[in-house]
């Protein structure tokens, strides 16, 4: 009889150890699932914030003002902007505000991508807007002219996110 009790105690210990291991595994799986769900919710929140920024009236006004400036000043629009802004011309100061408004959105997406905060698919979704053409062909050239750079600091990153970035054309 003592052998049977000893044997039953061993089996009970093994069963309890197996149950504890199963419980730990189940807990790990639940935590993993909750982490993935929280991560998805966080990414959705970030996307909604970017979307709300792009859809804000200020962006629409800025993009339209930049298109109007480009139409009004023709091919030399960026250089005209630089000269007039340096002279503190009121219209150039106002269009600079619009340039900075449009610039902030696309540069923020590129910065988040460079920093690894968002992945390529997320960043592509965030920049896939008609305003991308306005940024690429108007706002960025104005920034290059204003700061007298030879090339864009951000266009290579935005093109790495989406090789067709801003390819829809302006007019």
pLDDT tens for each residue of 52-101? 999 999 999 999 999 999 999 999 999 999 999 999 999 999 999 999 99
Tokens matching residue 142: 């104005």
134, 105 Cβ separation under 8 angstroms = no
Q: Over the stretch 104-125, which tens digit does the pLDDT of each residue have?
A: 999 999 999 999 988 999 999 9
Q: Chain-centre distance of CA 77, in angstroms?
A: 28
Is it the case that residue 130 has pLDDT exceeding 80? Answer: yes
Is it the case that residue 36 has pLDDT exceeding 90? Answer: no
Q: What percent of the chain has pLDDT over 90?
A: 56
Is it the case that residue 7 has pLDDT exceeding 60? Answer: no
Rounded-to-integer distance, Cα 135 and Cα 137, Å: 6
Residue 67: per-residue pLDDT: 96
93, 85 Cβ separation under 8 angstroms = yes
Residue 48: per-residue pLDDT: 86
Q: Which is more confident, 8 or 95?
A: 95
User: Model's pTM, two decimal places?
Assistant: 0.74
């Amino acid at each position: 009889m003592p052998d049977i009790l000893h044997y039953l105690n061993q089996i009970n210990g093994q069963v309890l150890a197996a149950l504890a291991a199963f419980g730990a595994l189940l807990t790990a799986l639940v935590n993993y699932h909750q982490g993935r769900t929280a991560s998805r919710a966080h990414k959705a929140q970030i996307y909604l914030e970017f979307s709300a920024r792009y859809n804000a009236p200020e962006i629409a006004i800025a993009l339209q003002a930049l298109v109007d400036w480009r139409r009004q000043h023709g091919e030399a629009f960026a250089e005209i902007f630089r000269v007039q802004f340096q002279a503190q011309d009121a219209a150039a100061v106002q269009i600079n505000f619009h340039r900075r408004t449009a610039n902030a959105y696309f540069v923020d997406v590129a910065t988040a991508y460079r920093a690894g905060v968002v992945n390529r698919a997320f960043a592509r979704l965030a920049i896939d807007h008609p305003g991308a053409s306005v940024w690429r062909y108007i706002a960025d050239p104005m920034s290059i002219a204003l700061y007298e750079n030879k090339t864009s600091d951000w266009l290579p990153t935005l093109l790495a996110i989406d090789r067709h970035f801003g390819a829809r054309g302006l007019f």
